[in-house]
C-alpha cells in the first residue's frame, strides 16, 4: 500500500523558511486520481489544511497562509515539498503530508517542526 | 470558503454507550464529508468518506449520515479503543476545512 514519509529540519529560526519534503512510495505521484496535500496541527490543537498540489504542478493554498506558502511536486523523485516563509512561533506544529481522493486515506506519520531561536 | 462547525467539543461516555457527533457546513456540500479518528501522537485515521461510506477495515459500529449541511458520526457500543479525538472534513471545494474536533473521553 501507499506510504508517505515527511522529512526536513525539526527546528527553524523565526523569520526563516520552513522546508519539508514528502516522499511517496509504493504508488505514483503522477496518478491523476489524486492530489497531494500538507496539513498541520499545532500542539494540543486541531487540524489545519495548508495546501494541495496536483501532478501537473497546479497548487492551491489556505488563504490564511497563501502569501507565505509554496507547494511543489517532483514527479521524477516521487516527492512533493512544502515551503513556508517568514515563520513565527505560531507555525510550530506537527506537519503531515497526505494523499487526497475523496478523503485522506493515506497519511505520513508527521514531523514536528519547532520555530525557535 | 466553507467552514465546518463541529459539536460537541468534548463528550464523556462509557464503554457500551452510543455517541453522536455533529458537523454543520456553512454551505451545502452534498455528501463531500469525511470523518477521522486521531489518537495521541498518531496521524488521523480515515473512518468515513462520502458522508456515509465506511472505509475498509473500520468496524461497523462506526456510521455516518447526512447531506447538504448537516452531518453526523455515530459510534454504537463504544469500545475502549474508541476513546480518541474525532474530526470532520469537507472535501467539496478548496480551501478544504476541518471541524474543530470532538474529544471522546471517559
CB contact under 8 Å between A104 and B100, yes or no, is no
Q: Which residues of A touch B99 (CB under 8 A)?
A: 46
Confidence check: pLDDT of B34 > 90: yes
Would you state the pLDDT for residue A56?
84
pLDDT digits (tens, 9 = 90+) for B71-104: 999 999 999 999 999 999 999 999 999 999 999 9
Report DSSP state, residue B93: S
> Grid coordinates representing B4?
465546518
B106: pLDDT confidence band, cut at 50, 70 and 90? confident
Confidence check: pLDDT of B46 > 90: yes
CB contact under 8 Å between A102 and B49, yes or no, is yes
pLDDT digits (tens, 9 = 90+) for A94-113: 999 999 999 999 999 999 99
pLDDT digits (tens, 9 = 90+) for B58-79: 999 999 999 999 999 999 999 9
Q: Mutate which of A38, A102, A106 to test chain B, going by most B C-beta atoms within 10 A? A: A102
pLDDT digits (tens, 9 = 90+) for A46-68: 999 999 999 887 999 999 999 99
Amino acid at each position: 500500500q501507499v506510504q508517505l514519509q515527511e522529512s526536513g529540519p525539526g527546528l527553524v529560526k523565526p523569520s526563516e523558511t520552513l522546508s519539508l519534503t514528502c516522499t511517496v512510495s509504493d504508488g505514483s505521484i503522477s496518478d491523476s486520481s489524486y492530489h497531494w496535500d500538507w496539513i498541520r496541527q499545532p500542539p494540543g490543537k486541531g487540524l489545519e489544511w495548508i495546501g494541495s498540489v496536483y501532478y501537473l504542478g497546479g497548487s492551491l493554498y489556505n488563504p490564511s497562509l497563501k502569501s507565505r506558502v509554496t507547494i511543489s511536486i517532483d514527479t521524477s523523485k516521487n516527492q512533493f515539498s512544502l515551503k513556508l516563509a517568514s515563520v513565527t512561533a505560531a507555525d510550530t506544529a506537527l506537519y503531515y503530508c497526505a494523499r487526497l481522493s475523496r478523503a485522506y486515506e493515506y497519511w505520513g506519520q508527521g514531523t514536528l517542526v519547532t520555530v525557535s531561536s | 470558503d466553507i467552514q465546518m462547525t463541529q459539536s460537541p467539543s468534548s463528550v464523556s461516555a462509557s464503554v457500551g454507550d452510543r455517541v453522536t457527533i455533529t458537523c454543520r457546513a456553512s454551505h451545502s456540500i452534498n455528501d463531500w464529508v469525511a470523518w477521522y479518528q486521531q489518537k495521541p501522537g498518531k496521524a488521523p485515521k480515515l473512518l468515513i468518506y462520502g458522508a456515509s461510506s465506511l472505509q475498509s477495515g473500520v468496524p461497523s459500529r462506526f456510521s455516518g449520515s447526512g447531506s447538504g449541511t448537516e452531518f453526523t458520526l455515530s459510534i454504537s457500543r463504544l469500545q475502549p479503543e474508541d476513546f480518541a479525538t474525532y474530526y470532520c472534513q469537507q472535501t467539496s471545494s478548496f480551501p478544504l476545512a476541518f471541524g474543530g474536533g470532538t474529544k471522546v473521553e471517559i
